[in-house]
Amino acid sequence: MTADPRPVVRLRPKADPRPVRHGAPWVFADEVVLDRRTRALAPGTIATLEDAGRQTLATVAVNPGSKIALRVLDRDPGAEIGPDWLRARLAAALDLRARLYDAPFYRLVHGEGDGLPGVVIDRFGDTAVIQPNAAWAEAALGPLAEALAEVTGVRHVLKNAASRARALEGLDDASAVLIGQAPDGPVPVEMTGATYLADLTGGQKTGLYYDQRPNHAFAARLARGARMLDVFSHAGGFSLAALAGGAEAALAVDGSAAALELAEAGAARTGVADRFATRRGDAFEAMEALATEGARFDLVVCDPPAFAPSKPALDKGLRAYERVARLAAPLVAEGGFLMLCSCSHAADLARFRQASVRGIGRGGRRGQLLRTGGAGPDHPQHPMLAETGYLKTLAFRL
């Protein structure tokens, strides 16, 4: 939060101002005049952006030490980024989720897609977890948490600092309780007919993956009366939905004992523990072992971590996705289904689909592509930022 007069930052003479005028939310360091004055600005400083001809463009947050030097907060160059502004953005985000969901369990803020660049907020009833993944959000964290509590009525607000994006912004990894208190244990979340347990303080990300909700529902339809395998299962996202939807049995595979414990507890709460089993270990090794054992499943779902989190990791990540498909395909019974997922924004849909199809072929199978899915509507995409549409799912019948 910076009082006027605000500093001014300027685009380089060769930088095209049209993307910002048309709504682009980021300006990279090589497009900005990073003189001594601009480099001296504290990360998160609010400034006015001008083009090379000194025409005002937008209100931005500056981080001179980041590759993303500017994040566009408001197209209005005179916008005041204060409590009223924060409340208005949060109220708009809340209105959308209230129309979409009957219960207050969802992603409330999806960064640039909700006009709050670098900010992720997941809601778990009366508790919200903020990931402030940009320097401006870290600087405004107190007012942001207060506005969040005021707009939504949540009584507890936690900060999760585990995102790798924070390191790119020069931020620490210290999580904290901002308002109220942390829950005593995992929080139950009812979703897609199942009850999941979200660890808001020690789990992955903010505690639960809301983004796969519509894909869980589709998998549950495929798994009715069937045997399913959930690889990279985390807290049982796909397997618990499948069992709640009438699957005969499900096996969840993950390398984390804590995640599998949450999955088992969720299965018990859902009333499907008698049809649920887990196997802890490396997912690739587990799939190879299952093939050796002659195991076959009517539905196999693979939802791995981001193998290609950045462009330098793209080639290696695509090879990993191909390997997943190659090992998973032989585990699918004839006429069964294979769902493959990627949360890597660097691997676009075309590349991910190509790697998956190649892996299925190398696994000795062929199939029909039934459905291409993405994240649920509580993860709105910014139309000029592909990173907000990171999640991709492919459903095949083999």
CB 322 within 8 A of CB 358: yes
Structure tokens of 37?
A: 């004055």
Q: Is the peptide bond before 104 cis (omega within 30 degrees of 0)?
A: no
Q: Catalytic one among 47, 128, 228, 343?
A: 343
Please indicate whether residue 343 is annotated as part of the active site. yes
CA dist 124 and 129 (Å) reads: 8
Task: Write down the residue that tokens 């076959």 correspond to.
Answer: 296
How many C-beta atoms lie closer than 10 Å to residue 106's C-beta? 25
CA dist 273 and 387 (Å) reads: 37
CB 370 within 8 A of CB 396: yes
Tally the C-alpha atoms within 13 A of residue 284's C-alpha that lie toward its C-beta: 8
| Residues forming the active site | 343
